[in-house]
C-alpha cells in the first residue's frame, strides 16, 4: 500500500501583507486576549524579534506563524499559532523546529516561553522537544489572571538536545516536506560527558 503523500510547507519571514490572515487565526488560537494587528505591526519592526510564516505550497494559505525575541543567548518564544483547520497535522512542530534552528543560527543557546497552565496541548508540544517546567508566573495572563508555566530547554547546542531534535525532524519529515530557514546540520562544541544544564540564574 502506498504511503501518504507528503504535504509541502513553505517557511518564510512573516510580513505585513500576511496580517489579514494572521488576524483570522489569532482570536481562534488565543481567545479574547490575543495580540492586536498593531501588536504584530510593532513586532515586525522590533529589532529583537524574528517572525516566520508557514504556508501551504499547494494553496498559498497561511497555515501558521511563530516567532521569538533574541536577547543575548536566549530566544524567548513570543507566539506560535496554527490555523484551526490545520491542527494535528504537525504544523506546530514545523514552526517550533524552525524557531529552534533559526535561533541557534542567530546565536541562542536556550529557548524559553510562558504557557497557560490549562493549555495542555501546547505544553505537550514543548515537552516533546525537551522543554522543562522550571516555575510558575502567578496571574500572568491579564484576561483571566491565569498562571503561566515557565518552560526552558536545556542548552540546545548539547549533543543530547541535538539527538532529540533530529528525532523530531525525522518524524515530521514522514508527513511534511519543508525547506528549513536555517541549517539542520550542526556539530556540537560539547561532549556528551559535559554537564551543561540550565544555569541557576535562568530559572524562574
The answer to the question of residue 189 being in a domain is no
Residue 204 covered by a domain: no
The domain in which residue 124 lies consists of 8-183
142-156 residue pLDDT tens: 778 899 999 999 999
Number of domains making up the chain: 1
What's the predicted TM-score (pTM) here?
0.91
- State the pLDDT at residue 84: 94
Q: Identify the CATH number of the domain in which residue 41 sits.
A: 3.40.630.30
Residues in contact with 143: Cβ distance below 8 Å, sequence separation at least 6, in sequence order: 31, 32, 33
- Is position 50 within any domain? yes
Q: How far apart are CA 37 and CA 81, in angstroms?
A: 15
Residue pLDDT, tens place only, 157-204: 999 999 999 999 999 999 999 999 999 999 999 876 555 555 566 655
Hey, CA dihedral for 198, 99, 101, 161, is it positive or negative?
positive
Does residue 203 sit within a domain?
A: no
* Within-domain flag for 81: yes
Q: Check residue 4 and give its pLDDT.
A: 64
Q: Give CA angle at 191 (190, 197), nearest 5°.
A: 70
In a domain, 190, yes or no: no
Q: Which of 158, 90, 157, 77 is nearest to 128 (CA)?
A: 90
Burial class (CB in 10 A: 0-12, 13-18, 19+), 67: buried
Tell which residue, 44, 49, 57, 13, has the closest CA to residue 182.
Answer: 13
The three-class DSSP label of residue 40 is helix
Catalytic positions, please? 114, 126
Over residues 38-82, the pLDDT tens digits come to: 999 999 999 999 999 999 999 999 999 999 999 999 999 999 999
Q: Is residue 157 part of a domain?
A: yes
In a domain, 201, yes or no: no
Nearest alpha-carbon partner for 116 in 96, 139, 99 = 139
Amino acid at each position: 500500500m502506498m504511503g501518504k503523500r507528503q504535504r509541502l510547507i513553505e517557511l518564510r519571514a512573516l510580513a505585513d501583507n500576511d496580517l489579514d490572515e494572521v488576524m483570522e487565526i489569532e482570536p481562534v488560537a488565543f481567545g479574547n486576549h490575543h495580540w492586536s494587528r498593531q501588536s504584530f505591526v510593532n513586532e515586525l519592526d522590533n529589532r529583537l524579534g524574528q517572525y516566520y510564516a508557514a504556508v501551504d505550497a499547494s494553496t498559498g494559505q497561511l497555515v501558521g506563524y511563530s516567532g521569538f525575541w533574541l536577547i543575548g543567548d536566549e530566544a524567548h518564544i513570543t507566539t506560535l499559532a496554527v490555523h484551526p483547520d490545520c491542527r494535528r497535522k504537525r504544523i506546530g512542530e514545523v514552526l517550533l523546529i524552525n524557531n529552534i534552528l533559526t535561533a541557534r543560527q542567530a546565536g541562542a543557546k536556550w529557548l524559553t516561553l510562558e504557557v497557560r497552565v490549562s493549555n495542555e496541548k501546547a505544553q505537550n508540544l514543548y515537552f516533546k522537544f525537551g522543554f522543562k517546567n522550571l516555575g510558575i508566573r502567578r496571574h500572568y495572563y491579564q484576561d483571566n489572571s491565569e498562571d503561566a508555566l515557565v518552560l526552558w530547554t536545556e542548552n540546545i547546542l548539547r549533543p543530547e538536545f541535538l539527538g532529540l531534535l533530529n528525532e523530531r525532524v525525522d518524524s515530521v519529515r514522514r508527513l511534511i516536506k519543508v525547506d528549513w530557514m536555517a541549517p539542520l546540520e550542526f556539530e556540537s562544541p560539547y561532549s556528551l560527558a559535559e554537564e551543561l544544564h540550565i544555569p541557576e540564574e535562568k530559572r524562574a
